[in-house]
Amino acid sequence: MLTKTTLAGLAAGVSLLAMGSAQAVEIEYWQYVFDSRVQAMDQLIEKFEAANPDITVKHTTFPYADYQTRVVAAKVAGQGPDVVQLFYGWTDQFVNGGLIQPLDPAVFPHAEIESEFFPIVSAMKRGEDYYGLPTAVRSLALFYNKALLDEAGVQPPQNLEELIAVAKATTKVDGGGNITSVGITMDMAGQDHQWWREVLVRQNGGVPYDEEGNVAYNNEAGAAALKFYTDLQTEHKVGQTGFMDEGQAAFRAGLAAMTIDGTFRLGAFEGNPFEWGVVELPADANGMRSNYSSYFANAIGATAEGEELEAAQKFLQYISSPEAMEIWLDEVGELPARRSVALTEENLADPILGPFLKGLEYAQTTRFYDEAAQRQTTIDMVNRVLLENQSVEDSLAQAAQAEQAIIDQGRQ
């Protein structure tokens, strides 16, 4: 009798266990390796699993260099992730390659996305569908070395005219005329190409790309923007491309009074052995400002369906929720993608975060087809003027042609 009851109990237990495992859904989340991002995501997964005991999330990471290749390879093998992180600039490739699926408007209402998130989220929209939502966004600002500015007796610049004046006052030159400390760093390979494209071109009355996404800067506005940039070295002699190898290296070494960089640099600059501050990117003479913003979004993998799709949607909802954004801000230092979470009085009053957040209000997002190649056209454009003495107009025309070719290639 006893053995029979035990057996019956065991059988019941086993069938219960089986039922339990049938209900638990496991979904896979992929992102690239970056310490603070991985830790923040682990924290989010823990909270999500506590709130949804029937879902487990497997967190997989890959080195940034082969991240894209891994996603593609997994798709080919039919083992893709359910929720995947991607740079907004890869959206075309991911959509065309059938790696991600559109977000269901019933779960992610468009009206809510458009009213709650910063307008740059539109870069995730293709046709009538959104393909992903960001947790956090990045923007640019002007970093300045307080000690060098104080030494020269100047204040951080608010507009482009002041920028040149401050740069002139802070540039140091040795007896032979060689620059030993620059007023402002010039590094197109860093963030300057974004500054030129989305800020300087617009401040000179142009737009970098037209409605269809074709190059539109090959005109007076573009030429004026390029001249402003190259004049920093040739005319005003306040900057020098290649000085200290990289702009951010020069700033960290205390040999640059100002540099333009993004939120992602905050961690690296934290340990600088001098006092530094941040202001919004300088306005033009009419007070017009612009900024460049970029982000990594989370999207739902093309292979997710049924209850896995449901679980993936729940998870995506959670990691783009206000709560998740606050955790991300604390852990990673990236700006929340929802206005209500980002633009709190506390955040806006923060001397470091404030300027970046203000920048988000008027930021633009470039639609890249091949970011590295498009950046290279800007680097080459400046080099032709500085190293080969080509005229600003000719170099600009050549860059426009080269970039348009990359865009055409990307559309095929």
Q: How many CB atoms lie within 10 A of CB 188?
A: 22
343 or 402: CB nearest another protein:
402
Q: What is the DSSP code (8-state) at residue 119?
A: G
291, 360 Cβ separation under 8 angstroms = yes
CA-based angle 299:301:304, to the nearest 5?
130
* Interacting residues toward another protein by CB under 8 A: 68-69, 72, 93, 96-99, 174, 176, 178-180, 187, 189-190, 240-246, 255, 370, 372-373, 376, 379-380, 383-384, 387-388
How many residues belong to the chain? Answer: 412
* Beta strands, E only, 210-272: 256-262
- For residue 318, the minimal CB distance to another protein (Å) is 29
- For residue 377, the minimal CB distance to another protein (Å) is 11
321, 311 Cβ separation under 8 angstroms = no
Pairing mode, strands 25-32 and 83-87: parallel
Instruction: Give me the amino acid identity at 2.
Output: L
H or E, element range at 44 = helix 35-51
348 or 405: CB nearest another protein:
405
- For residue 289, the minimal CB distance to another protein (Å) is 28
DSSP 51-72: H-TTEEEEEEEE-GGGHHHHHH
195, 140 Cβ separation under 8 angstroms = yes
24 or 73: CB nearest another protein:
73
Q: Which residue is listed with tokens 């992180």? A: 85
- For residue 96, the minimal CB distance to another protein (Å) is 6
- For residue 334, the minimal CB distance to another protein (Å) is 24
233, 171 Cβ separation under 8 angstroms = no
Structure tokens at 202: 């617009």
- For residue 302, the minimal CB distance to another protein (Å) is 12
**Largest Cα–Cα separation, the chain:** 103
166, 160 Cβ separation under 8 angstroms = no
- For residue 78, the minimal CB distance to another protein (Å) is 14
Rounded CA-CA distance 327/333 in Å is 9
Close Cβ partners of 311 (under 8 Å, ≥ 6 residues apart) = 25, 27, 52, 55, 82
- For residue 316, the minimal CB distance to another protein (Å) is 22
Report CA-CA distances (Å) from 368 to 232, 278, 300, 400. Answer: 27, 27, 21, 14
345 or 388: CB nearest another protein:
388
22 or 372: CB nearest another protein:
372
72 or 147: CB nearest another protein:
72
23 or 69: CB nearest another protein:
69
- For residue 9, the minimal CB distance to another protein (Å) is 46
118 or 195: CB nearest another protein:
195
Rounded CA-CA distance 362/119 in Å is 9
241 or 293: CB nearest another protein:
241
- For residue 2, the minimal CB distance to another protein (Å) is 46
219 or 383: CB nearest another protein:
383
